[in-house]
Chain A
Amino acid sequence: MDKLLTLTALRRVVQLSAFVFFVYGAMLFTTFYTGDKLTQALPALSCAYDMSGGDYCALIPLQHQMDHRVSTLFTQNAGVMEALMGTLITIATVAVLILILNKAFCGWLCPLGFFQETISMIGTKLGITQIVSLSRDTVNKIRPIKWFVFLFLVLIFPILAGIGLLGHEWGSPFCSICPSRIMTTAMTGDMNQIYISQAGWGYFALSLIADLMFGLMIALALFVRQPFCRICPILPLQTLFKKIGLLRLVKNGDSHCDSCSNCVKACPMDIYEIQNQTVAENITHTDCTLCGRCIEFCPHDGVMSFKYGPITLLSSSKESFKKRTKIDKWWKG
């Protein structure tokens, strides 16, 4: 029983509950319709294509607003407020949600994040050799991709589609390639999102990328932690507001930090910066999902901690490190 009392175990329970709610929520907890959804601006990949879901991510309204509203600034000389109001409401809703949970939406609630972690657990149990950490060089090469995805696939291409410079398929290009669309619908028994479209080169390219990336993500998740999260455009969206988030990762480092890299090894996003020595500083990085593994695996008292406003929720300690390491050995066999 004692084995269950860890932050990761608590996170798994929350993730599973969130997965059930976001993927099947409309069937189980509420009624069927969009009108019953919570926000329609969730800063996590909960997919609107899932007709049984309980909520959906902010990226689909953002793309539609770029395509149908923001583009009218250029095509119909629409008023600024008329063109931007929808986007402002979505962004404001995201800001409020980030204020409450910050980037924990990724590490604790995102259905696709949980899906990848589950595959990773399967990979471990199958005896597949796990990559402990990607190299700093590899991480640095991957990091800009999410900004490219956010700027082009979520903002710029939809605006260009709305203006008429790109075809209709570029109105919501991120959704067209998002693995969460395939995963969440498949989880409800709907296989209609697995396809190659022959409706035109744009449709063909986007559907091909989506399917290839979904297969690649599953294979990579067997031995690399959180492969898709590293390029997910939700991270840049959250980053816009991470300073206001009440929940944050704080480090009060000491000289041990130079020689110990436990936190980096524990980090599923390979954030090397968390190893740096800092004093009482908010170190919630753009890539951080606030999973808390760095706190669990830090062997020093009070160095890493979760804070909610002024309140310390959890701090690293020798005792919890020993316990967590023991559990990790037991899990990996």
Chain B
Amino acid sequence: MKNTLLILLLGTSLWGYGEGALYWTPHGCDEGKAAASKHGGHGKGESAMFAAMNLDGNATARLVSPDLSVKELRFNQNTVMLPAPKIGGYYAMVAESNVSGNVYSAVRYLSLHGRPVKVSPTKLTAAPKAALEIVPDPLHREHDRYTASKSYRFLVRFENKPLGNANVTLETHNTPARTVKTDASGSLSLTLPNDFKNVRTGRSENKSSEFLLTVRYDEDMTQYVSTFSMPYYVNPNDYWQSQSLGAGAIFIGFLGGLFLYRRSKKGVNHG
């Protein structure tokens, strides 16, 4: 009952966001957080429970491990609980459904703690996970994070081939959707908006928000819709860090060095 209410609340707050597309979003209930904590903690404090929004009854979900092995995930209503990770690194959570001839897919990557494997996450992103797919190019490193005001590249693939001239929509909770076209090689670059509200000073004082990329493609009377969702964070340089002051301090340090040079020319530091 509590979960249903949470889903309803989440659905209402995200009205219009990701409309008509299947996408993943973290489910911040206590149960999910407790499970993540039991697993030794998930990347960036994420919950172990995720909800697939706009889910149809015939949907399936699976978790692709860093070593590319696949585990089926079972839906409880529209949520899945991730199992304790046996190996560490990037996982891909994939949901797929087929509704009235339309093929929907959602992919989300998450970094989980565990025994390290000697498999590059490049293999995970390169592996086809759905007919139509948005792939981060590259997926940021485990210790990095998607950050507002920074640009990132993505690749759109259909049947594992780059899809040029495709419209990709970027949505966040606070910024109206905007569309970017992929180039001939299926690639696109976009800047995440600085649209956080009530930002407080300090990295740990601000929660992440979600961004959603959606691509639609029609072929043989079938519409394919695929999404990519991830959290993104406040960029400190937009708020409590000043780059111009930083550059000024470097200049002052440089002047200090030149002052020492003048002193050295007078013989103070000669050996």
Contact, CB under 8 Å: B204 / A215: no
Contact, CB under 8 Å: A33 / B271: no
Of the listed stretches B185-193, B207-215, B254-262, chain A binds B254-262
Question: In the complex, which of the residues B138, B240, B258 contacts A219, with contact meaning CB atoms closer than 8 Å?
Answer: B258
Question: How far in angstroms is the closest Cβ of chain B from A266?
Answer: 13
Interface residues of B in 89-103 (CB under 8 A from A): 89-90
Q: Which residues of A contact B255 (CB under 8 A)?
A: 215, 219
Contact, CB under 8 Å: A197 / B143: no
The reply on A223 being an interface residue by CB < 8 A is: yes
Question: In the complex, which of the residues B202, B237, B249 contacts A215, with contact meaning CB atoms closer than 8 Å?
Answer: B249
Question: How far in angstroms is the closest Cβ of chain A from B187?
Answer: 15
Contact, CB under 8 Å: A220 / B257: yes
Of the listed stretches A17-25, A133-141, A148-156, chain B binds A133-141
Contact, CB under 8 Å: B242 / A214: no
| A35 with B89, Cβ < 8 A, contacts A51-B144, A215-B257, A219-B256 known | yes
Contact, CB under 8 Å: B270 / A135: yes
| A199 with B246, Cβ < 8 A, contacts A135-B271, A212-B256 known | no
Which B residues are within 8 Å of any A CB, using their own CB? 66, 89-90, 116-122, 138-144, 201-204, 236-237, 240-243, 245-247, 249-258, 260-261, 264-265, 269-271
Question: How far in angstroms is the closest Cβ of chain B from A67?
Answer: 14
The reply on A168 being an interface residue by CB < 8 A is: yes
Contact, CB under 8 Å: A207 / B253: no
Interface size counted on chain A using CB atoms at 8 A: 45
Question: How far in angstroms is the closest Cβ of chain A from B231?
Answer: 18
Question: How far in angstroms is the closest Cβ of chain B from A1?
Answer: 35
Contact, CB under 8 Å: B141 / A33: yes
Question: In the complex, which of the residues A33, A129, A191 contacts B138, with contact meaning CB atoms closer than 8 Å?
Answer: A33
Interface hub of A135, A200, A211 (most chain B Cβ within 10 A): A211
Contact, CB under 8 Å: B257 / A216: yes
Q: Which residues of B contact A222 (CB under 8 A)?
A: 257, 261
Q: Which residue of B lies closest to A212 (CB)?
A: B253
| A194 with B246, Cβ < 8 A, contacts A138-B269, A200-B202 known | yes
Q: Please, what's the 1-or-0 string for A27-70, where 1 marks a CB less than 8 Å from any CB in chain B?
A: 00011111110000000000010010000000000000000000
CA distance A219 to B269 in the complex (A): 15
Interface hub of B89, B254, B256 (most chain A Cβ within 10 A): B254
Question: How far in angstroms is the closest Cβ of chain A from B250?
Answer: 4
Q: Which residues of B contact A32 (CB under 8 A)?
A: 121-122, 138-139, 141
| A196 with B242, Cβ < 8 A, contacts A135-B270, A211-B253, A220-B257 known | yes
Contact, CB under 8 Å: A199 / B261: no
Q: Which residue of A lies closest to B89 (CB)?
A: A35
Question: In the complex, which of the residues B117, B236, B253, B258 contacts A35, with contact meaning CB atoms closer than 8 Å?
Answer: B117
| A199 with B249, Cβ < 8 A, contacts A35-B89, A212-B256 known | no
Q: Which residues of B contact A191 (CB under 8 A)?
A: 243
Interface residues of A in 177-207 (CB under 8 A from B): 182, 191-192, 194-200, 207
Q: Please, what's the 1-or-0 string for A90-129, where 1 marks a CB less than 8 Å from any CB in chain B?
A: 0000000000000000000000000000000000000011
Interface residues of A in 126-178 (CB under 8 A from B): 128-129, 131-136, 138, 168
